[in-house]
Amino acid sequence: MNVLYTKDTVKKFLLSLTKSQKTVGLVPTMGALHEGHLELVRNAKENSDVVIVSIFVNPTQFNNPDDFAKYPKTLDKDLDLLKNIGVDAVFVPENQEVYPESPMIKIDFGDLERVLEGAFRPGHFNGVGIVVSKLLNIVKPHKAFFGQKDLQQVAVIKRLVKDLSFDVEIIVVPTVREASGLALSSRNLRLSPEQREIALVLFKSLSFAKTELLKGEQWLNVKSEIQNQFKHTPEVELEYFELVDSEKMKVLDGLQEGNPISICIAAYVGEVRLIDNISVNH
C-alpha cells in the first residue's frame, strides 16, 4: 500500500497507471475509520481497478473550532485497516499541502444549503465543496464513493459535480449501522457507553416516524410527537427533525409522489453532534 503525502506523489502514482488504463476509485474520508468507511472501500474495490483513500480533517468545513479540535484522529490504526482491506494508495496530506493559502473562492449551493446542516452550520458546505473539488482535481478518479448517512452532503456533491462538469461518477453507499441501529460515525468515539445507549433515540425516532407515515399518519402530527418526546429526553438536544426531498433537500410537509423522500435528524448527545436519516419510499 502506497502512503502519499503530497500532490506530486499522487501525480506520480497516477502516471504509473496511465498505460494500464485502470479505473480509479476515490474514497474521501476524515479518518477515524470505522466499518462504514470500510464498506465504502469495499464498494470502491468492487467497482474500480485501483482504490485511493484520502484522509484529511478539513478545517474549512467546521464552523465550530472546538468540534474541529476534538475530531478524533487515529492515523496509525486507519492505515492498518486500509492495508488489511487491500487499498492501493492512501493520500494523507498536511493542511499546508491542501491549503497553501486560504481559499478566496466561495461556493454557494443555493437552496441546497439553506436548510438542515446548512442552516445550523453556516459555511459548512462551502468548505465541503472546496475540499471535494480539490480532491477530485488532485486524484482525478473515475468514481468517488460517499455514504448515505451524510444525505445532504451527497446532494451538494452531486450538484458540484454537475455544475462544474467534473468527469466523475458519484456512487452512494447505504448507511452502515450497529446491530442496535446506531449509525456508524467517527464522532461515536467521543460518546461514553451510556451516551451510546442514549443516542439510539435518533434511529428509533426515524424508524417510528417512517412507520407512522406509511400507515397514513400526517407528517406534522408525527413530527410534533417526536419533538415532544425529545423535550422529555434531557440528555439529548434535538436540532432538527424534517421530512425532505432526498435529492433537492427541500423540506416537505407531507409525502409526495415522485422523487425519493427521507426523514433527517440532528441532535446533540452531550457535547457530541450526531446526524442520521432514513429513506421513506425507496
Average pLDDT over residues 34-54: 98
Closest CA to 226 of 245, 213, 215: 213
**Residue 18 shares a structural domain with residue 140:** yes
Q: What is the mean pLDDT of residues 73-100?
A: 97
- Give yes or no: residues 44 and 139 share one domain: yes
Judge contact between 1 and 88, C-beta under 8 A: yes
Q: Is residue 179 part of a domain?
A: no
pLDDT band at residue 256 under the 50/70/90 scheme: confident
Whether 180 is in a domain gets the answer no
* End residue of a domain, out of 120, 151, 173: 173
Helix (H, G, I), strand (E, B) or coil at 98: helix
pTM (two decimals): 0.95
Q: What is the model's pLDDT at position 180? A: 95
Which helix (H) or strand (E) segment holds residue 267: the answer is strand 261-269
250: domain CATH number is 3.30.1300.10
| 26 and 92 belong to one structural domain | yes
**DSSP string for 15-39:** HTTGGGT--EEEEEE-S---HHHHH
Mean pLDDT, rounded, for 192-201: 96
Instruction: Note the pLDDT of residue 75.
Output: 97
Residue 124 annotated in active site: no
pLDDT of 258 over the 90 cut: no
Q: Which residue type occupies 194?
A: E
Single residue among 116, 140, 173 that ends a domain in this structure? 173
Instruction: Answer yes or no: do 84 and 165 share one domain.
Output: yes
Binding annotation for beta-alanine: 61
Q: What is the CATH number of the domain that holds 37?
A: 3.40.50.620
Q: How confident is the model at residue 84 (pLDDT cuts 50, 70, 90)?
A: very high
**Rounded mean pLDDT, 84-107:** 97
Are the beta carbons of 260 and 278 closer than 8 angstroms?
A: no
CB-based contact 3:92 (threshold 8 Å): yes
User: With bands split at pLDDT 50, 70 and 90, how would you rate the model's confidence at 43?
Assistant: very high
Q: How far is CA 196 from the centre of its chain?
A: 20
pLDDT digits (tens, 9 = 90+) for 137-157: 999 999 999 999 999 999 999
> For 15-33, what is the mean pLDDT?
92
Domain count, the chain: 2
Looking at residue 73, its pLDDT comes to 94
Of 50, 46, 1, 2, nearest to 23 (Cα)? 50
Q: Are residues 169 and 194 in the same domain?
A: no
Residues 7 and 120 occupy one common structural domain:
yes
* Whether residues 121 and 228 fall in one domain: no
Domain housing 215: 186-279
pLDDT digits (tens, 9 = 90+) for 49-76: 999 999 999 999 998 898 999 999 999 9
C-alpha cell at 42: 469495499
- Tell me the mean pLDDT in the region 160-176: 98
pLDDT tens track for 216-248: 999 999 999 999 999 998 999 999 999 999 999
178 within some domain: no
Determine the Cα–Cα distance for residues 194 and 185; give it in Å rounded to an integer.
16
Residues 213 and 132 in one domain: no
Catalytic site residue from 37, 124, 142, 282: 37
Whether 181 is in a domain gets the answer no
Mean pLDDT of 130-137: 98
Would residue 254 count as lying in a domain?
Answer: yes
Distance separating alpha carbons of residues 176 and 173, to the nearest angstrom: 9
Known binding-site positions for (R)-pantoate: 61, 153
pLDDT of residue 21: 86
pLDDT at 257: 82
C-alpha cell at 97: 499541502
Mean pLDDT of the chain: 96
Q: Are residues 72 and 164 in the same domain?
A: yes
Asked if residue 237 and residue 157 are part of one domain, the reply reads no
Domain end position, chosen among 173, 204, 221: 173
pLDDT of residue 39: 98
Burial call 175-196: b when 16+ CB within 10 Å, e when fewer? bbeeeeebbbbbbbebbeeebe
Q: Do 157 and 195 sit in the same domain of this protein?
A: no
Residues 27, 128 share a domain: yes
**pLDDT bucket at 282, cuts 50 / 70 / 90:** confident
